[in-house]
Structure 1
């Protein structure tokens, strides 16, 4: 998924830029540093919607996968082999008949 890769790259870039902002805060605040901080923050603000969209898509994908797995657990018969022999009287999968247990009477 190219969108996911792009999202991950943007997220990594955002984290690095936030770290850089923290480092710039430790330096003496000159007009040049203030300008750099503003430019970095503006870029973070620019990429944030894409990051949020990526999070949303990732969450949606995880949710859909979870719901599919949950549905499989609820309906295990859907995944049965369609070529399994059937008992044509009952239209059910064929089950070998077990012999009734003999009662021991004395």
Structure 2
């Protein structure tokens, strides 16, 4: 009897799926030079579109790879992310001295 090649074909296809997924992520992701230019045109508070195509679907499909990519290449992502406004509590007055007193949720400050 002739051996079936179906298991081999299935194994090859399953091994190629992650390669295709990562490759399509690399193709879909905009370059950092494109993103820097686009970020300058964004209205305040708007979220940049990091992908060339797919819109919301690309964000949903590629979020695991984007998460890994942000941890592996933080400097590259820091260049293209719009600057975040650091929220600080307003200045409070000390009731005993009348001097301004700032509060920060970060205990090291």
Q: Which has the higher helix share?
A: 1
Larger Rg: 1
**TM-score, with normalisation over the residues of structure 2?**
0.28
Structure of higher RCO (CA pairs closer than 8 Å, 6+ residues apart)? 1
